[in-house]
């Protein structure tokens, strides 16, 4: 407590300069204490400079500053006397000679609540009752202060204010009934206001709808006493609606009656609604709402939603009503165009009861299916050209079947197929570039070493054929002694570009053919020799087949001098290469 006195002394020193040594006093305008505890009223006074008293005395009055009204004397320092209700309860704790008129009152009770005035007695006629006074309030419970609004999910603080103006009795503050509060913590601080001190205990927590109506308590005790004071606050937690009860989904037949009930908990009261297909059927500001459906038909089949809303949020729950009838024609997405790599979701909805078996089919292949449901969803996370085509949604139950189709068109960047290559003929070189693309690609050929570029639009060199998404462009060039080292094919459309090197046929898969008149004679001679040999072999029944000549499907062999002569011509460049197939 010493630091409190030093603080008040400093305040008085500052005030003394302002008051300029005339009749004036300073004390807390309002101060509180709990029953049966004590209270110390801090007080400082001043008087004119031309008065030099030999002794300074003081009198504290209760509820009136005028002695002629005979107010109860709280304490007279000169005679050490007091009114009977204050006897043994009061003592001067300030030094009057130092202009400190602080007083302490013990065992305060409700009849001591009121105004307290101080009168300075400097001897003779130099007596003065100061108009400044302290209002003393006697408490029997602490103040529990709630925020203006407590909202579920938002951190809240509730504060307990405990007056602490008795230096001999220090209060202890604890919180009661805080079970069920999420993430709660308690923080304490001491605060001074115009000479009156308070302990401030703050309970910080995260409220929820479960805490609505919960009563919290703040308890104040004093060590070594049986004194106990309690203050309470009932929380008004604001929260969004909750649907606490609703019918389960149900099945029925046409011509019957169905009753749905939705029970909602909220604070404040919520607007509760029944909806179907986003259409409002019934609403009311209530805690529960009943929906009665008369003379059920297939039109009543579907999803019913109970929705509730207030200023703090909304909530909804849905239930299904199934009415027995065959499935309707499925409703599917409109045909669409998707870019390769995009996610495509195909929805198929129908109505029927019992719920149908639904199947998604493409090219007679089942892609997805569900049993006893009204909705089928097919999601393609990253479409490719292979997903392009027509999709069918089929729905069937024991009452009938129906179907609907959906077309998905996939646009994608060109794809140069592996069969793209260059082939050498007798008089020319043909390079074929086969591309799959949507939309159609723009195809160009390039021979970098010759700085030669030509597009498919140049009919003199290039011929193109189209079939669906396939385009084959053939570049025909006159054969030269030296084949190009690199032939490039580029294909482009709005969605990308591909450049592909066209390789010449592997020489290991070539035979020397198409060699002109001389080559034709050589081939004829070889065939005649082979034929004669086969005939002679068959005539020699006792002789096993000779293994000196064996012909395979892919690599013919040569024997004899004629073969060697022909190979000599091949090495000299008189015979061209063709692919063996």
Q: Over the stretch 532-555, which tens digit does the pLDDT of each residue have?
A: 454 444 444 333 333 332 233 333
Predicted pLDDT of residue 54: 86
d(CA 310, CA 307): 11
Q: Is the pTM of this model over 0.75?
A: no
Tell me: pLDDT of 63 over 90. Answer: yes
Is the distance from CB of 370 to CB of 358 less than 8 angstroms? yes
Please state the rounded mean pLDDT for residues 38-49: 94
- C-beta atoms surrounding 522 within 10 Å: 22
Between CA 262 and CA 291 the distance in angstroms is 8
C-beta of residue 421 within 8 angstroms of C-beta of residue 502: yes
Q: Is the pLDDT of residue 9 over 50?
A: no
Could you tell me if 280 and 307 are in contact, meaning their C-beta atoms sit under 8 angstroms apart?
no
Q: What is the DSSP letter of 554?
A: S
CA pair distance 469, 324, nearest whole angstrom = 46
| pLDDT tens-digit readout, 479-493 | 877 888 899 999 999
Residue 572 above 50 pLDDT? no
Q: Phi then psi for 120, rounded to 5 degrees? A: -90, 135
Q: Residue 115: which of 130, 127, 101 has the closest Cα? A: 130
Residue 367 buriedness (CB in 10 A; 0-12 / 13-18 / 19+): middle
Tokens 């009656």: give the residue: 257
**pLDDT more than 70, % of the chain:** 83
Residue 529 pLDDT class (50, 70, 90 cuts):
low
Phi, psi angle pair for 499, to nearest 5°: -120, 130
pLDDT band at 526 (very low <50, low <70, confident <90, very high): low
User: Six-digit token pair at 521?
Assistant: 């004679």
Q: Which pLDDT value is given to residue 183?
A: 93
Q: Do the beta carbons of residue 206 and residue 157 sit within 8 Å?
A: no
Residue 456 banded pLDDT, cuts 50, 70, 90: confident
pLDDT of residue 516: 44
The residue ranking higher by pLDDT, 254 or 77, is: 77
Is residue 557 over pLDDT 50?
no
Residue 21, pLDDT score: 63
Say whether pLDDT at 212 is over 80: yes
| Bridge partner residues of 416 (DSSP) | 435
The two tokens of residue 13 are 């020193």
Return the pLDDT at 352. Answer: 80
- Give the CA dihedral 560, 563, 565, 569, nearest 10 degrees: -170
Residue 562, SS3 per DSSP = helix
φ, ψ (nearest 5 deg) of residue 333 = -60, 155
Say if residues 356 and 396 touch (Cβ distance below 8 Å). yes
506 band by pLDDT with thresholds 50, 70 and 90: low
Distance from the Cα of residue 305 to its chain's centroid: 24
The closest of 368, 383, 499 to 444, measured between CA atoms, is 499
Query: Could you tell me which residue, 341 or 519, shows the higher pLDDT?
Result: 341
Give residue 287's pLDDT band: very low, low, confident or very high (50, 70, 90).
very high
Low-confidence winner among 32-36, 46-50, 469-473, 516-520 (lowest mean pLDDT): 516-520
pLDDT band, very low/low/confident/very high, at 400 (cuts 50, 70, 90): confident
The rounded distance, in Å, linking the Cα atoms of 140 and 231 is 9
| Token output for 443 | 């195809």
Order the strands of the 90-92 sheet from edge to edge. 39-41, 103-105, 90-92
Q: Evaluate if residue 434 carries a pLDDT over 90.
A: yes
In degrees and rounded to multiples of 5, residue 110 shows phi and psi of -60, -30
C-alpha to C-alpha distances, 34 to 38, 140, 439, 558, nearest whole angstrom: 8, 6, 89, 126
**Are the C-beta atoms of residues 37 and 66 closer than 8 Å to each other?**
no
**Could you give the CA distance from residue 545 to residue 101 in angstroms, rounded to a whole number?**
144
DSSP one-letter code for 479: -
Name which of 300, 371, 379 is nearest 333 in CA terms.
379
pLDDT for residue 138: 96
**Residue 519 pLDDT level (bands cut at 50, 70, 90):** very low
The answer to whether 449 and 484 are in contact (CB under 8 A) is yes
Please choose, from the candidates 551, 511, 521, the residue with its C-alpha nearest in 3D space to the C-alpha of residue 534. 551
pLDDT at 459: 85
**Confidence bin at 522 (pLDDT 50/70/90):** very low
Band the pLDDT of 565: cuts 50, 70, 90: very low
pLDDT at 253: 84
Answer yes or no: is pLDDT of 444 > 70.
Answer: yes
Distance CA 338, CA 388 (A): 9
- Model confidence at 160, in pLDDT bands (50, 70, 90)? very high
Question: Is pLDDT at 275 greater than 50 in this prediction?
Answer: yes
User: What mean pLDDT value characterizes the chain?
Assistant: 84
Which burial class, exposed, middle or buried, applies to 319 when counting CB atoms under 10 A from its CB (0-12, 13-18, 19+)?
A: middle
Burial class (CB in 10 A: 0-12, 13-18, 19+), 247: middle
Q: How far apart, in whole angstroms, are the C-alpha atoms of residue 427 and residue 431?
A: 14
Region at 333 (left for phi over 0; alpha for psi -120 to 50; beta for the rest): beta
In three-state form (DSSP H/G/I as H, E/B as E, the rest C), the secondary structure along 314-345 is: EEEEEEEEEECECCCCCEECCCEEEECCCCEE
Tokens (6 digits) for 369:
């299916």
């Amino acid at each position: 407590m010493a630091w409190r006195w030093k603080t008040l002394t400093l305040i008085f020193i500052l005030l003394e300069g302002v008051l300029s040594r005339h009749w004036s006093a300073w004390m807390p305008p309002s101060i509180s204490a709990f029953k049966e505890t004590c209270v110390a009223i801090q007080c400082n006074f001043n008087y004119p400079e031309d008065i030099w008293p030999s002794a300074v005395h003081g009198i504290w009055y209760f509820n009136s500053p005028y002695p002629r009204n005979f107010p109860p004397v709280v304490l007279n320092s000169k005679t050490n006397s007091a009114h009977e209700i204050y006897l043994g309860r009061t003592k001067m704790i300030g030094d009057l000679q130092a202009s400190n008129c602080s007083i302490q009152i013990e065992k305060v009770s409700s009849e001591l609540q009121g105004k307290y005035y101080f009168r300075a007695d400097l001897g003779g006629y130099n007596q003065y009752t100061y108009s400044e006074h302290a209002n003393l309030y006697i408490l029997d419970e602490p103040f529990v202060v709630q925020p203006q609004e407590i909202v579920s999910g938002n951190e809240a603080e509730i504060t307990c204010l405990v007056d602490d103006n008795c230096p001999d009795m220090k209060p202890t503050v604890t919180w009661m009934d805080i079970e069920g509060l999420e993430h709660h913590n308690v923080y304490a601080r001491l605060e001074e206001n115009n000479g009156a001190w308070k302990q401030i205990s703050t309970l910080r927590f995260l409220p929820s709808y479960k805490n609505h109506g919960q009563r919290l308590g703040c308890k104040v005790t004093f060590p070594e006493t049986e004194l106990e004071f309690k203050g309470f606050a009932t929380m008004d937690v604001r929260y969004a609606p909750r649907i606490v009860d609703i019918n389960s989904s149900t099945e029925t037949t046409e011509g019957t009656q169905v009753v749905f009930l939705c029970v909602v908990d909220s604070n404040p009261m919520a607007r509760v609604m029944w909806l179907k297909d986003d259409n409002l059927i019934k609403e009311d500001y209530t805690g529960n709402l009943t929906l009665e459906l008369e003379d059920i038909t297939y039109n009543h089949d579907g999803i019913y939603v109970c929705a509730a809303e207030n200023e703090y949020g909304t909530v909804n729950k849905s239930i299904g009503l199934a009415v027995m009838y065959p499935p309707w024609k499925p409703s599917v997405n409109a045909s669409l165009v998707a870019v390769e790599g995009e996610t495509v979701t195909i929805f198929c909805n129908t109505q029927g009861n019992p719920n149908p078996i639904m199947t998604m089919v493409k090219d007679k292949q089942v892609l997805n299916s569900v049993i006893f449901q009204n909705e089928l969803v097919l999601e393609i996370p990253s479409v490719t050209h292979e997903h392009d085509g027509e999709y069918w949604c089929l729905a069937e139950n024991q009452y009938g079947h129906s179907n609907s189709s959906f077309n998905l068109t996939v646009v994608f960047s060109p794809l140069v197929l592996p069969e793209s290559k260059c082939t050498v003929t007798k008089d020319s070189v043909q390079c074929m570039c086969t591309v799959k693309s949507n939309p159609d690609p723009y195809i160009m050929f390039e021979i970098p070493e010759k700085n030669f570029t030509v597009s498919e639009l140049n009919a003199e060199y290039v011929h193109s054929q189209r079939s669906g998404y396939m385009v084959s462009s053939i570049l025909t060039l006159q054969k030269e002694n030296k084949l190009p080292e690199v032939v490039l094919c580029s294909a482009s459309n709005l969605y990308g570009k591909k450049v592909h090197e066209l390789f010449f046929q592997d020489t290991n898969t070539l035979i020397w053919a198409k060699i002109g008149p001389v080559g034709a004679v050589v081939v004829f001679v070889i065939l005649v020799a082979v034929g004669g040999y086969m005939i002679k072999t068959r005539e020699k029944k006792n002789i096993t087949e000779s293994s000196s000549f064996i012909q395979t499907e892919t690599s013919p062999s040569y024997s004899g001098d004629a073969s060697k002569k022909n190979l000599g011509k091949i090495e000299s460049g008189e015979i061209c290469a063709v692919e063996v197939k």
